[in-house]
Structure 1
Amino acid sequence: MTDILIADDEPLIRTGLRAIIDAEPDLTVAGEAADGAEVLPMVRSVRPDIVLMDVRMPAVDGIQATRTILDAVPEPPRILVITTFENDDYVYEALRAGASGFLLKRARPPEILQAIRTVALSDSLLFPAAIRGLAARHAAGREADRVRRARLTEREEQVLTLMARGLSNAEIAADLVVSVETVKTHVGNVLAKLGARDRTQAVIAAYESGFVQPL
């Protein structure tokens, strides 16, 4: 069972998300927060696997709430940012702060559920095309030496490039003609060397260093 905390200042959004999530046998809503300031105490209380975090809230926004959770909680949940516009500057800053992906408020219920499950599994990148677009606008030159300093092997560089294209572990394995377990090992090494919490953070680093160029 995947436990989810919903953080959004709009009651209708929280109610709608709860109805969609609680209808699934493998997902459940563990709690709700109406502002970013409420999220950390609730995370500590209910220990969710995923937080659906509204990026814009009146007192503490989703970016700051994400940073606070990742700094304060030893084994933090994955953060899935909820936003109205995918090209919102706040979305990219939330991803840089440590969010694992984002979800559009206008998304249909099957898309919402797919996004939650993708982030829960963490073996592929959520909305790679949109992240590439955000990177093209925001990433250039921010961390130019990060990938070089990580001293990735040639195979790890190949894996990072394919991760940035949005390929899942299975797809990377097929592309490189290796086993999925081998890919998982390489992905783990890439994350460790880059100091990235998950593949989204590794891909952001790849774009910001110029290692991967947005299309």
Structure 2
Amino acid sequence: MPKKAGTEEWRKKRRQEYLEMKMYRYYIFCEGQETEPKYFRGFKKLIEKNPIYRDMVLIEIEPCQAETMRVLGMAEDYVKKNKIKKGQIWCVYDKDSFPPKHFNGVVERAESLNKENLELQYHTAWSNECIEFWFLLHFAYYTANNHRSEYTTFLNNKFKELGIGKYQKNMDDIFNILMEKGSPKLAIRYAKHIIKNGQGKKPAEIAPGTKVYELVEELVKYLPEDEKRNFVDCP
């Protein structure tokens, strides 16, 4: 038994040393258990294939199965438990039907935490009402403040039009579908325009709206050049 415990400690120490070697560190905490994690794992997979950055970038994706403030709370607990002192902490969450006070509170709490350690910064990649709004921006500029069910209907119709079946939550290939059938470049442009038009408003007041594009832009920096062209104009 002591030998096994010693082996576990050794592995833990080696893993910590490996993580500390990474120059760029991203810890992504997702409200959803599968939809958002599967989407961001698409970026992680491509970055890990990029010989330029794969040994420099750490991306850890944590499904939370929690909402708004609880996502941030779980991120804080994770940081303390693992003694993380450097990196970017991203909270990916939806408004859904939660009170504006809770939804806006995540941003306010993150801003407060960021004053404590300039090398460890919290970011909020929110969607109002849901992540599906970010997905549909890959296909159209959409500003109607409809119920989240309308976003799913839109995606269903678009997927049918493209001959790729029906949109479903937790799709394994959602990242590839949006990359190959949609336009990530336009999604970023549309999302930025919507946020600009909502300047001065709180997140709950920007409906619909999303800041998922901010996390996407961060991760895109480490993609292979041929994949990066799907998101940004490359020289």
Name the larger-Rg structure: 2
* Bucket of the pairwise TM-score, normalised by the shorter protein: 0.3 to 0.5
- TM-score normalized with structure 1 length: 0.34
After TM superposition, the score normalised by the length of structure 2 is 0.32
More contact order relative to length (CA 8 Å, sep ≥ 6): 2
